Amino acid sequence: EVQLVESGGGLVQPGRSLRLSCAASGFTFDDYAMHWVRQAPGKGLEWVSGISWNSGSTGYADSVKGRFTISRDNAKNSLYLQMNSLRAEDTALYYCAKSKYSSSSYFDYWGQGTLVTVSS
């Protein structure tokens, strides 16, 4: 059974940093691209970032480019999101999502999310 479990969320002040983690199990982690998708309270879905199976390619939404860094550790079956210079508008539930294929942007499994609240 595929499982994605996010952690690392919490309350943080504007301008500070936070690192999210996603622990994956139930599939061959290093065969698939992985992504972060967020959802602000009461709002829609926003893709944040993605990383290829071998970390050779990464992508970011314009709203987080230069502030967030995605990475993965295939030996630990883990995905990460380093979030710096956080802003109030980064407040959201952050989901980890698995690509359906090795490099597609179809998300066939999602975690339950970790909540990030940016507030003073």
Partner 1 sequence: DIQMTQSPSSVSASVGDRVTITCRASQGISSWLAWYQQKPGKAPKLLIYAASSLQSGVPSRFSGSGSGTDFTLTISSLQPEDFATYYCQQANSFPFFGPGTKVDIK
**CB-based contacts of 58, cutoff 8 Å, min separation 6:** 49, 50, 51, 52, 70
Interface with partner 1 in residues 48-67 (CB under 8 A): 50, 59, 61-62
Check binding of 85 to partner 1 (CB under 8 A).
Answer: no
Q: Does 8 bind partner 1 (CB under 8 A)?
A: no
Instruction: Give the C-alpha separation, 22 to 104, whole Å.
Output: 19
Q: Does 100 bind partner 1 (CB under 8 A)?
A: yes
Structure tokens at 84: 């710096």
Q: How far apart are CB 68 and partner 1 at their closest, in Å?
A: 14
What is the nearest approach in angstroms of partner 1 to the Cβ of residue 120?
27
| Interface residue list for partner 1 (CB under 8 A) | 35, 37, 44-47, 50, 59, 61-62, 95, 100, 104-108, 110-113
